[in-house]
A and B are shown apart, each in its own frame.
Chain A
Amino acid sequence: MGKQLLLENIDAPGINTLEGYRANGGYRALEKALKMNPNDIVEEVKKSGLRGRGGAGFPTGMKWGFIAKPEGVPRHLVCNADESEPGTFKDRFLMQKKPHILVEGMIISSFALGVNTAYIYIRGELLYVYHILEKAIAEAYAAGYLGKNIMGTGYDLDLYVHPGGGAYICGEETALIESLEGKRGNPRIKPPFPAVSGVWGRPTVVNNVETIAAVVPIVNMGGDDYAKIGIGKSTGTKLISASGHINKPGVYEIEMGITVEDFIYSNEYCGGIRNGKKLKAVVAGGSSVPILPADLILTTAKGEKRLMSYESLADGGFQSGTMLGSGGFIVMDETSSVVKNLWNFTRFYHHESCGQCSPCREGTGWMEKVLERIVNGHGKQSDVDLLWDIQTKIDGKTICPLGDAASWPVASAIRHFRAEFEDYIKNPQNIKDEKHYYNLRNEKAPVA
């Protein structure tokens, strides 16, 4: 097991309470940070190389550096706890088990950014976690870590939790801001960026739960030491949500740079494929990222072992690579159907499209309809090209990345598994045959 910076002591008794968290070294980073110059904290985060853990992987220190500081205008930090990307459940796990690491990270980050009111926007379905966070926050107020004149430094901070109402789109930062203002979650056109005009028109930084939590070890160990963990520009540790046909689904904290093969097959992590089956495909970073067949997820097109890092997973671009995304690692065995899975994902994007941009609103529904007829045995020869055509007309043509996120799974499934689509269309009699495994990748069989 590699370094555990976020999940350290996750099963220690009482770690969910302030007392238990402190007994395991909690709030030491806050005490240290409050003695630092806020700009120096931003510098440490820059040095750490930390990249946004919500999916986009944008350097956090740089994002913090963009925040506008007009005189007399309050600014805000908002934690994005709207975890909804299919395959991703790390934030829920962390908040539920160790809520104080998020609270501590929020206080340090707010101090660094000169924020006096901060919010945690949590998806509505996680109301039970909302109450866990409220309790943790109440404990932090009682201990003098929140409120007026925190630990005698003269710094004031209020921290609140805000529940959403069930909308994937609110994980997009400008939609989240609209939602925090009590509106429909329609993403805003950028610019202006939230760093200039965010919630209530004020400068706002929005960061993912895991990103904020990572600030705690960064302050504790220093940015330089944090950057020594990992590989290249993928510094530090990453929480991976592992699900699907594996022996040990769950949340794992990995040091970036371990091989994908190790992650899937080692007993430390996923423990291999369930029921002795073979690996067929992996969606490595949440439903939005390109699906890769077994050979390409384990080895890059250049023939190198693929690593769990931003760069290695993206190696080969969309032709033969994918993305680390949110770290939602969905494993599919040889019995699963890539086409049916795609129909399922496409239904999701259609359901979750906010409806603002026509390419996404209409295109996702159209793709769902085409896929539905294919999986029901009524596909036409022209349908595969039609799907390809529709996705090219959504990708990059919408206000927010939901359109891209809906296109990429379609494009990658066709790119790597066209033969399976054609089998559905040519041999619909096989669809109901449970023994007919759709092992149909373009000319290649799944690898062990």
Chain B
Amino acid sequence: MSKKEIKFSDETLALIQRIIRRYPEGKQKSALLPCLHLAQMEFGGWLAPETMDYVASILNIKSVEVYEVASFYSMFNLKPVGKCLIEVCRTGPCWLLGAEDLVRHIEKKLGIADGETTADGMFTLKTVECLAACGTAPVIQVGETYHENMTCEKTDSMLSDYRGKNEVVTHWDKKHIKA
């Protein structure tokens, strides 16, 4: 991505301005986490250093303040990811009810290991900690969607659905940005 491309859309910028106003005057740094989610939404699902510098400039804070936060929270990807980030819950009840089998299945099916991206750039597999959906375990999150009570068969059809759509899917879904 070249530097000149890094600019939020007008709609997203307007949303960011509204979000900043939720916090007291001078405390605009509080808008950092929502801004990073929006940055991942607009700039390919991950945060390049240039993207983080751009967010810093919008919030009028130092770049390092963005780096230290982005590297702390597990939802921010500091390396490129595939169009669909497949997040499989690996904790407690999901694990008791077969999350490990799902991970092995996806690894085999896509030919990638946990943390890797398929050669075509479509999928990245990531195991994550408890998603607060233990009653419908095992659970896979893709973008904002929770796929619950998963089985290997359901995972296969989920993957082919996403492959068919061939779109970039992010946690903050674009459909929530109003023009």
Interface residues of A (CB under 8 A from B): 74, 83-89, 91-93, 119, 123-128, 131, 158, 160, 162-168, 179-185, 200, 241-245, 249-251, 283, 287, 328, 330, 332, 336, 341, 344-345, 348, 351-352, 354
Contact = CB atoms under 8 A, between A and B. Distances in A.
B92 interface: yes
A181 B134 contact: no
A348 B130 CA distance: 8
A74 B59 CA distance: 23
Interface centre among A83, A85, A124, A283 (most CB of B within 10 A): A124
Given A344-B92, A348-B91, A89 B133 contact: yes
Interface stretch (B3-11, B115-123, B154-162, B170-178): B170-178
A125 B27 contact: no
Contacts of B129: 84, 86, 168, 348, 351-352
Contacts of A86: 91-93, 129-130, 134
20 contacts: A87-B134, A124-B37, A125-B131, A127-B172, A131-B176, A160-B22, A163-B34, A166-B74, A166-B76, A181-B27, A182-B30, A200-B24, A241-B135, A243-B92, A245-B97, A249-B93, A249-B137, A287-B91, A344-B90, A345-B91
B31 interface: yes
A352 B90 CA distance: 13
Interface residues of B, number: 46
Contacts of B31: 182
A182 B135 contact: no
A125 B143 CA distance: 9
Contacts of A127: 37, 144, 171-173
B135 A179 contact: no
Contacts of A164: 33, 73
Contacts of A330: 92-93, 96, 134
A127 B131 CA distance: 12
Contacts of A344: 90-92, 95
Given A162-B34, A167-B73, A200-B24, A89 B135 contact: yes
A335 to B, nearest CB: 10
A213 to B, nearest CB: 16
Contacts of A180: 30
A181 B36 CA distance: 14
A164 B131 CA distance: 13
B86 to A, nearest CB: 14
Contacts of B75: 124-125, 165-166
A268 to B, nearest CB: 16
Contact of A123 (B59, B91, B132, B134): B132
Interface centre among A243, A249, A336, A352 (most CB of B within 10 A): A243
Contacts of A126: 132
> Nearest 6 pairs between A and B by C-beta?
A165-B73, A166-B75, A182-B32, A243-B134, A86-B92, A182-B29
Contacts of B173: 127-128
B130 A242 contact: no
Given A123-B132, A127-B37, A200-B27, A165 B76 contact: yes
Contact of A182 (B69, B96, B141): B69
Contact of B135 (A84, A168, A251): A251
Given A128-B145, A244-B93, A348-B92, A83 B73 contact: no
A285 to B, nearest CB: 13
A106 to B, nearest CB: 14
Interface in B60-117: 61, 65, 68-69, 72-76, 90-93, 95-97
B136 interface: yes
Given A165-B36, A182-B31, A184-B68, A341 B92 contact: yes
Given A244-B93, A336-B96, A348-B92, A92 B27 contact: no
A250 B135 contact: yes
A165 B33 contact: yes
A126 B139 CA distance: 13
B132 A249 contact: no
Nearest to A124: B75
A162 B27 contact: no
Contacts of A345: 91-92
A183 B67 CA distance: 10
Interface string B5-28: 000000000000000001010010
Contact of A92 (B61, B92, B128, B133): B133
Contacts of B141: 125
B19 to A, nearest CB: 8
A89 B134 contact: yes
B122 to A, nearest CB: 22
Contacts of B93: 86-87, 243-244, 249, 330
Nearest to A169: B72
Given A125-B75, A127-B171, A127-B173, 9 more contacts: A86-B92, A124-B37, A127-B172, A128-B146, A166-B76, A250-B135, A283-B92, A287-B92, A341-B92
A126 B129 CA distance: 13
Given A127-B172, A165-B36, A166-B73, A83 B134 contact: no
